[in-house]
Structure 1
Amino acid sequence: MTQAHQQTKDIAPLSDADYMRDILRAPVYEVAIISPLQDMPRISQRLGNTIQLKREDRQPVHSFKLRGAYNMMSQLTEAQRKAGVIAASAGNHAQGVAMSGSKLGVKATIVMPRTTPDIKVSGVRSFGGNVILHGNNFDEAKAKAIELSQAHGYTFVPPFDHPSIIAGQGTIGLEMLQQNGHLDYIFLPVGGGGIAAGVAVIVKQLMPHIKVIAVEAEDSACLKAALDAGEPVTLDNVGTFADGVAVKRIGDESFRLCQEHIDDIITVSSDEICAAVKDIFEDTRAISEPSGALSLAGLKRYVEQHQLKDKNLATILSGANTNFHSLRYVSERAELGEKREGLLAVTIPERTGAFLDFCKVLGGRAVTEFNYRHSDDAEANIFVGVRLLNGQEELDSITADLRKGGYAVEDLSDDEMAKVHVRYMIGGRPTKVMKERLYSFEFPEYPGALLRFLNTLGTHWNISIFNYRNHGADYGRVLCGFELEEADLLSFTTHLRELGYSWKDETENPSYRFFLAKQ
């Protein structure tokens, strides 16, 4: 058991009344502001509900994390302040701890993964934090922080699973009720559960009729997994696009409170998060980080699923510490997340006028992307993007029309490999029959990552395809093909485990079959 986990276990659970008291007297406004609850007229009109956005990006560290960190650190004993504090974080919590330390005169050390973007490291240092770069991911950085806390007597400041952290975040809920006492629903982002627990526990005591909905990313839904199991569980892997909520295990105390006070939970895809980033920009001109737009993405899906109309809905822009280069990915995926674009693989005859005939079947709809390269005298596989006005229903209609016209069609709109890699690789097939298998990887962005990959795999098996994509995140997306005999698979899988990178076998992926495999 880690020291941080033990810290929470050693604290007797607070009652709801205790939390209300602690939220009411939390001294967060010594550093934080009362963030505005801003109207969102464009999306309100589109969805037929009144939607408001809690602007936590306006905080001095551009995130809500300052509230919890300061509330906990302000309660340290004199001996603890003198010894200093330590935290592990790749972003928002780090800056909250650093600024709180500067305000309170407490030395703050932050252990950050070596893959952390420079903008975040600089942000922590600008608030006076002492940065130690260690490890290739959050778990390694956290282990180092706990080791240092035990060696030097530092107080470990956890990112979410502590009553004082939860109470600090709960001040957001109190503000929302004061800013609009007529809310029907509040949508809350969930990573480790601190903000969801804190807001839910105060809202349900003061205005229990308000529905509190938790929102998670599909690829890091640790609260949903815990609710299904009846207790916190550890996910094997989490996606890191929305890195602010990429948490493998919900906090014990935050789970207890969420299980009691959350009315419902919903998960959303990365594409839906990208669409929500765009919605926030169009209504407020603010640029959210992916995890900051998570709860709006959940609100949109929940409204659609439950056909909500004429309700007062509120959500939170929880952070805006985004890497500028990641916006390229967001821009590419936003239309897919809104179901305003569909991606299709279509087989057309290889003859003059075939593209014109294909476009006639589309019925004048706008083509957003068309990728083609001659590879066969009889048929050609094309990668097509189509602008949509009526979402999935229209895409289904287009697919049906194409099949009726004699075309073989595959819908790739939800095919992650097609969206990340294949759309940029159209035009190449092997000239010989190969025993090829295809794998996707997430590469940590640190010096030597590619060399380690090649040393582990590339010296044993021939690499037949290689495509690398990065959009400013702390990991890269790699698609790699290998010539493998059936007898090689056991040894190859052993080497994959030795490598330690996240991977997936993509050999049966339809976009690979359409565009990259030998026919």
Structure 2
Amino acid sequence: MSGLQLNDVYLARQRIASLVRVTPMDPSPSLSKQLGVPVYLKLESQQITGSFKLRGASNAIAQLSTGQRAKGVVAASTGNHGRALAYAASQLNVKATICLSQLVPPNKVQAIRDLGAEVCIIGRSQDDAQRQAERIAGEQGAALLPPFDHPAIIAGQGTLGLEIIEQVPDVAQVLVPLSGGGLFAGVALALKSANPNIRLHGISMQRGAAMHASLQAGQPMEVEELPTLADSLGGGIGLDNQYTFAMTRDLCDQVHLLDEASIANGIRHAYFQERQVVEGAAAVGIGALLDGLIEPRGPIVVVVSGRNVDLEQHLRVLAGANQ
């Protein structure tokens, strides 16, 4: 399928143990009552940099040789990968350059700068940022560490799957935000290796879901990027995708797409019922449950992937806005 094995995920966990935290698995009384089965929230939003991305970024940098580290790392990002890479690079004394499109929210840009990374803002899409990152890698010899389509990134994200199976051993279904597929592929590899009967749902937004369009077409496709509350799920999967497309195709049981109102409902539920501040991309699993998209067979684990929301936007949504 990809050459990636469960052992790669276990090795990643050893490698990054001092750089990331094991995140909480909290029961959701409100969602459990609504569905009639146990529902748990895997609060990866409480990871050190505010999202799951730190797992893959830490594993990717930790795998580099001394010579590679000396030349630095470069990446394109919609925000959270860049923030995670900047943090991991600062912990391991490696220079990081992060390329971002103009669509990335200002709070995420500033957070990356605050961690000491060099920031390059270019173009109106993740693909524009990716091309710039590739140019820098070619010119400076820096290691290009993509947000998702890289074996070390996928293995790092898969450590979240190991925690799920240890925290809820009898889990029946897992809802995972789906964008480029690094998180989904890693988590699904870990879970399906432990128990092939666990049902894996990929949750995305209706506005520009590149992986869903690619799965429907049977090959990687480009889609127009559109403004969405789930901005972290934006961006293409790369027309030359090497890993995550095939892994998602082979391991995903079902994909669900949410409209903006449903994503907003997920954000509001997380805050008012669960007392959690989450970004739109992290609220899609909750939104899918509220919409009744998932068969009530439990235990169900919802991956809450990040908290790095623009606070002004968060306040608007809490007040009832859907954008």
Q: TM-score, normalised by structure 1?
A: 0.58
1:20-419 → structure 2 map (5 Å cutoff): 20-26=6-12, 27-114=15-102, 116-249=104-237, 251-301=241-291, 304-305=292-293, 307-308=295-296, 311-331=298-318, 333=320
The amino acid across from 1:268 in the alignment is: L
In 2, Cα distance between equivalents of 1:295 and 1:315: 6
Offset of residue 139 of structure 1: 3.0
Q: Relative to 1, partners in 2 of residues 1:70 and 1:112: Cα closer, same or farther, differing over 3 Å?
A: same
Deviation sequence 1:337-373 (CA, Å, 0-9, x none): xxxxxxxxxxxxxxxxxxxxxxxxxxxxxxxxxxxxx
| 1:307 CA drift (Å) | 4.8
Bigger radius of gyration among the two: 1
CA deviation vs aligned residue, 1:471-495 (integer Å, no higher than 9, x gap): 6xxxxxxxxxxxxxxxxxxxxxxxx
Q: List per-residue Cα deviations over 1:79-114 (Å, max 9, x = no partner).
A: 211111111224111111101111111111112335
Q: Is the 8 A contact 2:78 2:234 kept in 1?
A: no
Q: What is the percent sequence identity of the aligned residues?
A: 31
Task: Report if aligned partners of 1:89, 1:111 keep a CA contact under 8 Å in 2.
Answer: yes
The CA deviation string for residues 181-232 of structure 1, in whole angstroms up to 9 with x for no partner, is 1111001111101111111111111111111111111112222222222221
> CA separation in 2, counterparts of 1:225 and 1:122?
32
Q: Tell me the CA shift for residue 305 of structure 1.
A: 4.3
Which secondary structure does the structure 2 equivalent of 1:25 belong to? Answer: helix
- The change in CA–CA distance for 1:268 and 1:118 in structure 2 (over 3 A counts) is closer
CA distance in 1, matches of 2:270, 2:196: 28
The CA deviation at 1:43 is 2.1
Aligned equivalents of 2:278, 2:17: Cα separation in 1? 23
- 1:121 Cα shift? 2.5
Q: Structure 1's 292 and 25: CA in aligned 2 closer, same or farther, altered over 3 A? A: same
TM-score norm. by structure 2 comes to 0.92
Residue 115 of structure 1, CA deviation: 5.4
Q: For residues 306 and 212 of structure 1, what CA distance do their matches in structure 2 show?
A: 11
The one-letter amino acid of 2:243's match is: E
Q: Partners in 2 of 1:200 and 1:66 — Cα distance?
A: 18
Provide the C-alpha distance between the structure 2 equivalents of 1:197 and 1:128, rounded to a whole number of angstroms: 30
Return closer, same or farther for 1:265/1:134 CA change in 2, 3 Å cut-off.
closer
**Unpaired stretches in structure 1, ≥5 consecutive residues:** 1-12, 337-470, 472-519
Distance 1:226 1:39, change over 3 A: same
For residues 262-320 of structure 1, give each alpha carbon's deviation from its aligned partner in whole angstroms, at most 9, with x where no partner exists: 1111111111011011111123311101011112222333xx246525x2100111011
19, 22, 31: which one aligns with 2:5: 19
Shift of residue 137, structure 1, vs aligned partner: 3.9
Which residues of structure 2 form unaligned runs of 5+? none
Offset at 1:70? 0.9
Alpha-carbon contact 1:57-1:64 (below 8 Å) kept: yes
* Bigger relative CO (Cα 8 Å, ≥ 6 apart): 2
CA–CA distance in structure 1, aligned partners of residues 226 and 236 of structure 2: 6
Equivalent pair of 2:185/2:244 in contact (CA under 8 Å)? yes
Q: C-alpha distance in 1, partners of 2:143/2:294?
A: 45
State the aligned residue count. 319
4+ residue runs over 6 A deviation? none
Residue type at the aligned position of 2:7: R
Q: 2:106 & 2:68 partners in 1: Cα distance?
A: 30
* Distance in 2 separating the partners of 1:59 and 1:65: 9
**Structure in which a larger fraction of residues adopt strand:** 1
